[in-house]
Amino acid sequence: MTATMSVTPRPCLSLRRHGQLDITLSGLVNLGTLDQVTAAFLAAAVRGRCNIIVTGGVNAGKTTLLRALASEIHPGERIATLESERELYLHDRDRHADVIALEAREANSEGSGAVSLHDLIAHALRHNPQRIIVGEVRRSEILPMLEAMNSGQEGSMCTLHANSPAEAFDRILILGLRGGLALAERAIHILVGMAVDLIVHVRKRYDGHKTVRFVSEIVEVMPPGDTDRPAVNRLFLPEGPGGRAVAAHTPSSRMLARLEAAGFSPVPFDERPGDNTWAWQ
């Protein structure tokens, strides 16, 4: 909820309504957000404890997708959710019994008492969660988030505002530098390449009077190679109906091992891009 007065001709109140609070990947398939192949891949990626960043524009469905990805986490795992405004509501669902839901706090009228997401990540780590989920990375909390991903909290996830997967690296760099991060640009890119496994990009478009949201790309992230930026492998490309994601390239051997251990068949990646009739075990 957001309220504004004094700086507008009349008071304005906006309520953000979440229509899909208890959503799963199969539920998103039914809604047309992604197909069964993409859902199977993402389910295996979550169970295989890949670190995932969900990117997209404003109101593209990032939080809904993050909520659906979290539904694939084993019910017995301890999860810490960190948000500026509570929107995930994993602690209110019966799917997970051990959820520590943390919410940032604004400063009072005297400028004291603020608790930032940066503070909450350090606090959450003391509870020894098996996964950390940040609703949206907006400021300097990007560094502790990446460090958590790279130091034991495998399978952690967050959302990030970016207009493309490639833009996500620039956004992370800007957030880190804006937050006073005392690292060289290449060092930040190396940290991203070591910490992040997948970037899942969601888009929205207007189809008549209806807003359609869908997964358009999935990118595997690896440490920098020949350039200063992280290396990428574009696993799913926007070549399906309406720009939806379809399998295009084979994951790295390390990624394939994790996916196969989680029950995913790599057969489809050997087929022609756009052919989504592949096996899922």
The contacts found for 264-267 with CB under 8 angstroms, 24 or more apart, are: 264/40, 264/41, 264/43, 264/44, 264/48
Listed by start position, the domains of the chain span 21-267
Split at pLDDT 50, 70, 90, the class of 220 is very high
The count of residues in the chain is 281
Say which CATH class 21-267 falls into: alpha beta
Q: What is the pTM of this model?
A: 0.88
Q: Which pLDDT value is given to residue 116?
A: 84
- Output the CA torsion 171→242→263→128 (10° steps): 30
Instruction: Give the residue, 56 or 149, on which the prediction is more confident.
Output: 56
- CA-nearest of 114, 116, 72 to 90 is 72
